[in-house]
Amino acid sequence: MAEVKTQRLKDKVAIITGGAYGIGKAFARRMGSEGAALVIADIDLDNAEKTVEELKTEGMNAAAVKTDVSDEKSTLEIAEKTAEIFGSIDILVNNAAIFSKIKVSTVPFDELDMDEWDRMLAVNLKGTFLCSRAVYPYMKKQNKGKIINMASATFFEGTPVMPHYVASKAGIIGLTRSLASAMAEYNINVNCIAPGRTLSEDSSDESAVKSNEIRARTRQIKRIEYPDDLAGTAVFLASEDSDFITGQTIVVDGGTIFH
């Protein structure tokens, strides 16, 4: 991780869904280094608690909340608990998804199980909507807020596999624009990051490294993408530096697709 000397998120409170692992965990660590208090909202409470312990050891203020982002009641509880523990909600990162920790299936599209289609859309797309709606009253009341959604470069590429995943990410780009218009009146910025293939966690899995190396060859910047490559963009979108940017999708993929 790049050494952080600034405190751009000082006194801010950030909820990071799916923050127990992978890219979400890297976002938590970077936002915590920038001074934010963190709520790690994940369906995997054990990992969320481990992450919180690590962050606390590094001097950060963090709490774990078990959450299923596809369940409305659970999303309302994250917002309530965050306000209860830390007093406000300034930043929401809608990062939780079915992708790697809970594996997306890559069978040909005509063999895809329809229950998996439904669960994918429920977690990735409806989850993003429900969490955004749950934090809205708090952000509206303070007349300020930052919502960061996670799409994927696969939307721009239109990969032949994972149609349900690609469709969920397309929906997130549309939802980003719609919510940005709906919430702008209260100075709530809603933006989106579209990462390229990212080697998540410090995976020693040889096949994961190999497939990421193959991906790297298709980029202008020919190296593997890591979660930390995305964290600076997330901090920018969470900070006052991006106050006049809303409804946008920033592709962070080393220049594979141009958008």
Ligand X SMILES: NC(=O)c1ccc[n+]([C@@H]2O[C@H](COP(=O)([O-])OP(=O)(O)OC[C@H]3O[C@@H](n4cnc5c(N)ncnc54)[C@H](O)[C@@H]3O)[C@@H](O)[C@H]2O)c1
Question: Catalytic positions, please?
Answer: 165
Shortest CB 243 distance to ligand X, Å: 24
* The only residue of 9, 12, 13, 21 in contact with ligand X, by rule CB under 6 A: 21
* Torsion on CA atoms 7, 9, 14, 19, rounded to nearest 10: -40
Nearer to ligand X, 145 or 196 (CB): 196
Shortest CB 212 distance to ligand X, Å: 8
DSSP code string of 77-142: HHHHHHHHHHS---EEEE---SBTTTBPP-S-GGG--HHHHHHHIIIIIIHHHHHHHHHHHHHHHH
Q: Which stretch binds ligand X (CB under 6 A): 7-15, 135-143, 192-200, 239-247?
A: 192-200
Is 197 among the residues that bind ligand X (CB under 6 A)? yes
Shortest CB 84 distance to ligand X, Å: 19
- Are 17 and 95 a contacting pair, CB within 8 Å? yes
- Are 138 and 89 a contacting pair, CB within 8 Å? yes
Nearer to ligand X, 9 or 48 (CB): 48
Is 100 among the residues that bind ligand X (CB under 6 A)? yes
Contacts of 19 (CB under 8 A, 6+ apart): 25, 27, 28, 38, 39, 40, 41, 42, 48, 51, 93, 95
Is 195 among the residues that bind ligand X (CB under 6 A)? yes
- Are 151 and 251 a contacting pair, CB within 8 Å? no
- Are 96 and 69 a contacting pair, CB within 8 Å? yes
Is 97 among the residues that bind ligand X (CB under 6 A)? yes
Strands 91-94 and 13-17: parallel
Q: Which stretch binds ligand X (CB under 6 A): 52-60, 84-92, 94-102, 233-241?
A: 94-102
Shortest CB 82 distance to ligand X, Å: 14
Is 198 among the residues that bind ligand X (CB under 6 A)? yes
Is 128 among the residues that bind ligand X (CB under 6 A)? no
Encoded amino acid at 227, one letter = P
Contacts of 214 (CB under 8 A, 6+ apart): none
Is 200 among the residues that bind ligand X (CB under 6 A)? yes
* The only residue of 9, 14, 15, 20 in contact with ligand X, by rule CB under 6 A: 20
Residues that bind ligand X (CB under 6 A): 17-18, 20-24, 42-44, 67-70, 95-102, 123, 127, 150, 152, 195, 197-198, 200
